Structure 1
């Protein structure tokens, strides 16, 4: 609608200064070009460093951003058509994320704001009433309202932007923490080239299996009780998830299985490349993950506290995977003790897929992928609600749950990035 004076905020482009239109377009185009060029140069740098997996991960992130941009484009083009879809008020008032709030002249439902004009000219028998949203007028028959208002569609645009930003930020944080964890392993890898290491692990030396550091750390009386065995495995992921004895034993088993004995092989660098391959897998968004995000939005009904329980699920998955990976390492140590009373040199672990769920190491990676996506989605949703509706909005009526949900999300991001994913990159090579 065109307007003058106080109605300037509702002007359309035919009544807007050309310098204002050009300035806004120029800024948007400049930001877009800088972002594209920055990603392009970053990709070239990855190629120069021969980091193929990270380059492919970057390309996958760019593809996901393109999909989100296309979704936003569809919303922009179709918003007027979507807002014209009218549904009965009884239907639009079901499964609301917030309670219906009413006051004099105002009714709110489903995030959309419908304002009935209370004037003497209003005739209750009229077949239409006006719905004001974002400066547009949408007509629906009496007793019906739009499927989603124009203002609601605008808020959905903002949510997509938040999702894109946090998707990139979550991926960068995951890779940064994972590589930070592996820096300690680099010291252990360097030690394998020292004379002291070669002497202490001389293949001509014989030792009792239970006296070796690797076997001694994982074989205790609680291994005979299944509940205690998994409880201890659960705790180990928080306290020295990968110690020096574990790393050297797994390294020795891998080299013995795939290379000639005594080969000079940088196992830490290989695991770092493996982490990059795993990272490439977890930054994508598959149809299954999109479906899970839609289900979270569907079930976010007032009173169900669905967002809190949905934030707990990634925590349960990550803790279960960490426990399983620790149990696999312990099982390898137990097998060494059961097979041999005396070992020659460093204990030799037996590589096998039998230790993994469904005998498939990739299944654990899928669960990590799902947990990371859901966790990032939950954090994104929280910040979007804060931005659009405020920290103390109806979405956050139980503020204790909100604090717990955000704390869990931050904890899961750190736990998975710094502990679980690097641990998986190491243990999955034993399959």
Structure 2
């Protein structure tokens, strides 16, 4: 059996190898920095102020993660020297005792080498006084000599360091995917906006002298039915509507008309591009979504805490974002239907196009931005879980204590993809549309 060989220091390493590594690290960093700068310049040229501010927030989050990574590098020796008792260290492990014993069997004593090992004790004692940082290696547990266990080992700090990098990459990817899917959904609304410029639309929809029953209008036929009278059936129908035509032509045109009547001067119908306005509103919302608030960081820490044996977090964690986003999507559909019910409450006869009235009371706690916070929370926790899955697979192979079987892996990935598509393509554009009928909304874009 070959003797253990310590890794070489930089004094024992070729200078050309050190120079090559540093060159490519600098080259990669400079290229990324220039690309981000070019993207920011393009946003300024295109007058996309909200997207530029969102890019700045992404840069700030990456800087924060980089600072965390730096603290891990500097503090890993000091943290690994914090010793705790074995009873405390044995609590809340991701693996059960049997799994841990199987994956990490205790090393057997080699009696033949006892004499040789004792001869090396003096050398190890001298080396122990020389501080040495081993970021990417499995070091010796210095706490074992005291009969204790390291709070977090140096190698564990290294693995956490890799997780921070994976999380940063996933954060950037989910930001890009979220914005791209939202913009893709809104492209479908372009033909509806172009329709409002035609004479046929002005005659059939915008005629102010046309009287009809509220339930006979296109908006009324969609929302004023027997199921809308009961809260239970209303939520059931609205739950399924978010999957099949979450934003229909009649809903878009009715909310557009209500927004114009509430915020613009009379006669602006044919000149105002409501779709472009919502796109800019989406960019403003996107600026909020890319920022990671302290509350959301705290939720991420809770997710890490629950990855312990016995809680079976791999079975229920992926479904939390799914349940939340389904409730949010249902609530937004309920708001649209209740706008129709408010029209009918004012009278069975409507003059011209049905006019929805803005009102924050339709939103939870009277705060439309609370829904945006939930969407933000769902997107980050979903990206966090996918990053955690990628990291655990890289560090501990596909089947590990964090996801036991292939079925668990398939469920986690499938639910993560479904949540990302549902939230970015369905719920976020729907929120950007519905929030225009809030009474606190202020028209600020030109």
Fold-level match, TM-score > 0.5?
yes
Q: Helix, strand or coil: the match of 2:334?
A: helix
Match for residue 62 of structure 1? Answer: 59
Match for residue 139 of structure 2? Answer: 136
Match of 2:274 among 253, 267, 276: 267
Shift of 1:104: 11
Match for residue 241 of structure 1? Answer: 246
Counterpart contact for 2:314–2:408, Cα < 8 Å: no
Shift of 1:134: 1.5
Q: Which runs of 5 or more residues in structure 1 are unaligned?
A: 108-114
Structure with higher strand content: 1
Match of 2:350 among 343, 350, 353: 343
Q: Helix, strand or coil: the match of 1:228?
A: helix
Distance across 1 between alignment mates of 2:286 and 2:104? 53
Counterpart contact for 1:307–1:378, Cα < 8 Å: no
Counterpart contact for 2:86–2:149, Cα < 8 Å: yes
Match for residue 82 of structure 1? Answer: 79
Distance across 1 between alignment mates of 2:395 and 2:160? 10
Cα 1:9–1:262 shift into 2, 3 Å: farther
Counterpart contact for 2:306–2:313, Cα < 8 Å: yes
Q: Helix, strand or coil: the match of 1:137?
A: coil
Counterpart contact for 1:82–1:148, Cα < 8 Å: yes
Deviations 1:147-169 (A, max 9, x none): 11221111111100100000000
Q: Which has the higher contact order (CA 8 A, sep 6+)?
A: 2
Counterpart contact for 1:105–1:117, Cα < 8 Å: no
Q: Which runs of 5 or more residues in structure 2 are unaligned?
A: 129-133, 439-446
Mapped pair 1:167 → 2:164:
no
Shift of 1:310: 2.2
Residues 3-402 of structure 1 aligned to structure 2 (within 5 Å): 10-100=7-97, 101-102=100-101, 106-107=105-106, 118-119=110-111, 120-121=114-115, 134=137, 136-140=139-143, 141-201=145-205, 202-263=207-268, 264-402=271-409
TM-score (norm 1): 0.92
Distance across 1 between alignment mates of 2:357 and 2:393? 51
Cα 1:80–1:217 shift into 2, 3 Å: same
Distance across 1 between alignment mates of 2:214 and 2:404? 58
Deviations 1:406-431 (A, max 9, x none): 21111010000000000001101111
Distance across 2 between alignment mates of 1:171 and 1:178? 11
TM-score (norm 2): 0.89
Deviations 1:159-206 (A, max 9, x none): 001000000000100000000000011111111001111111222222
Shift of 1:330: 0.3
Counterpart contact for 1:105–1:116, Cα < 8 Å: no
Deviations 1:103-133 (A, max 9, x none): 69943xxxxxxx575443589xx9x999x98
Cα 1:189–1:142 shift into 2, 3 Å: same
Shift of 1:393: 2.0
Distance across 1 between alignment mates of 2:14 and 2:400? 37
Which is further off, 90-99 or 29-38? 90-99
Cα 1:292–1:8 shift into 2, 3 Å: same
Over the aligned positions, Cα root-mean-square deviation in angstroms equals: 2.3
Counterpart contact for 1:250–1:349, Cα < 8 Å: yes
Counterpart contact for 2:325–2:375, Cα < 8 Å: yes
Counterpart contact for 2:324–2:378, Cα < 8 Å: yes
